[in-house]
Amino acid sequence: MDIINSDSRGITILGSTGSIGVNTLDVIKRHSERFHVVALTAHRDSKRLFQQCVEFQPAFAVLVDAEKAPGLQQRLEASGCGTQLLTGVEGLERVAALAEVDYVMAAIVGAAGLLPTLAAVRAGKRILLANKEALVMSGQLFMKEVHDHGAQLLPIDSEHNAVYQCLPVGFERGLSKVGVERIVLTASGGPFRDTPLEALREVTPEQACAHPNWVMGRKISVDSATMMNKGLEVIEACWLFNTQPDQVDVVLHPQSVIHSLAVYADGSVLAQLGNPDMRTPIAHALAWPERLSSGVKPLDLIKVARLDFDAPDLDRFPCLRLAREALEAGGTATAILNAANEVAVASFLQKRIAFMDIPIVIDSTLESLDSRPADSLDVVLEADRLARQIAHQTLPRLAS
């Protein structure tokens, strides 16, 4: 194993085989003198995880699916790379809190990322947060843990990273106290922005995953197509930037060049622009407060030529409305929203329900469960469990 520079930062990547994880490794490889990989994790993609271990030589790897672990263990031993293999959620939590880890890229999709990300927070790490569900499910609890344990939270979602770059020092005290009136999250509108409403019923998973601007995983691609992704981002923004729901706007911007904006009291509007490539926010968070090259080509404004904006149509994107309603309800409503959405999207990808059934599953689940104060992790996890149960009960009716 290579000798590590004493100034090099150790990194755990939770979800290294997904698109965020792969892009993070690309940036790290460009700056091997500044960063080294301590641990890589995957849910069940043992083939890609093995390839990453051979290339980056981490001290630890975690495969959550224990059934695939023996085969991966054999390949790791045969390769001679020296990586120790762990399994399960316990393995994720362990590598998120290792003493030799400085930064944790939290890129596990969905509710599964909550516990290991909290483990990193409690260990006082710099958290590069790509898992928006951690804040959607338990925003108040999560942010309290960040404060109590002295962790550092840097957003990776392109929209939140853009806002972070546009806000002044001290925004944590509240936007109005630093002269900011509101923030504006941009949204591409996904692949169905202009599709006739009557045609959305026949949308296939393959069409929903064909995002016009971004390369993303299947679940996030569907969330983008329904605009639930933007709804979750509105919820996340309120916790990240200590702001109220009515201070967070959403605007359709099909070019995905302006990633988000901050509107100041004096009439100034600051925006962060760039080509749609996740390596930009990843490099920003890795180097902050410095800057380093990401491998992304500079934006060519002449080539872009025009920037278009429009208001989102809530008839076309009811998931955005449902997310705002859950945010206004507060408590466990956002955890219920997230759980129902995960069940509905998985069912759509399995071709068990139609695309336009996704908001029906979510709405039905929200109607069936009362929101409670999200004052403990146990309460949040129980709301998540019950919401999944009810959402699954809704599926047969829609599929029939």
The C-alpha atoms of residue 40 and residue 57 are separated, in whole angstroms, by 10
What's the helix, strand, coil split of the chain in %, to 5?
50, 15, 35
- Taking CA atoms, 53 is separated from 37, 112, 181, in Å, by 9, 22, 46
The C-alpha atoms of residue 325 and residue 365 are separated, in whole angstroms, by 13
**Pairing assessment for the beta strands 126-129 and 103-106 based on DSSP bridges:** parallel
The C-alpha atoms of residue 257 and residue 242 are separated, in whole angstroms, by 25
- Computed on alpha carbons and rounded to an integer, the radius of gyration of the chain in Å comes to 21
User: Which residue reads 């509905």 in tokens?
Assistant: 344
Structure tokens at 233: 């981002």
What pLDDT was estimated at residue 400? 58
| Buried b or exposed e, range 182-191, using 16+ CB within 10 angstroms | bbbbbbbbbb
Contacts of 99 (CB under 8 A, 6+ apart): none
**Pairing assessment for the beta strands 258-264 and 269-273 based on DSSP bridges:** antiparallel
**Partners of 40 in beta bridges:** 13, 61
The C-alpha atoms of residue 341 and residue 390 are separated, in whole angstroms, by 12
Peptide bond just before 289 cis, omega within 30 deg: yes
Neighbour tally for 198: CB within 10 Å: 7
- Taking CA atoms, 354 is separated from 111, 261, 336, 368, in Å, by 23, 34, 21, 21
In 3D, which of 83, 78, 34 has the Cα closest to residue 55? 83
Number of helices (H), then strands (E), in the chain: 16, 11
Three-state DSSP at 45 gives coil
What pLDDT was estimated at residue 111? 87
Identify whether the C-beta of residue 237 lies closer than 8 Å to the C-beta of residue 128. no
User: Which residue reads 């993609």 in tokens?
Assistant: 45
The C-alpha atoms of residue 320 and residue 13 are separated, in whole angstroms, by 30
Q: Does domain 9-155 have CATH number 3.30.43.10?
A: no
Question: What ranges do the domains of the chain cover?
Answer: 9-155
What is this structure's pTM?
Answer: 0.93
What pLDDT was estimated at residue 211? 77
Distance from the Cα of residue 332 to its chain's centroid: 19
Distance from the Cα of residue 123 to its chain's centroid: 21
The C-alpha atoms of residue 287 and residue 349 are separated, in whole angstroms, by 36
Contacts of 62 (CB under 8 A, 6+ apart): 39, 40, 41, 42, 85, 86, 87, 88, 91, 92, 94, 95
The C-alpha atoms of residue 236 and residue 112 are separated, in whole angstroms, by 17
List per-residue pLDDT tens for the chain, 400 residues long. Answer: 455 677 899 999 999 999 999 999 999 999 999 999 999 999 999 999 999 999 999 999 999 999 999 999 999 999 998 999 999 999 999 999 999 999 999 999 888 999 999 999 999 999 999 999 999 999 999 999 999 999 999 999 999 999 999 999 999 999 999 999 999 999 998 889 889 989 998 999 999 998 777 667 889 899 999 999 999 999 999 999 999 999 999 999 999 999 999 999 999 999 999 999 999 999 999 999 999 999 999 999 999 999 999 999 998 999 999 999 999 999 999 999 999 999 999 999 999 999 999 999 999 999 999 999 999 999 999 999 999 999 999 987 776 5
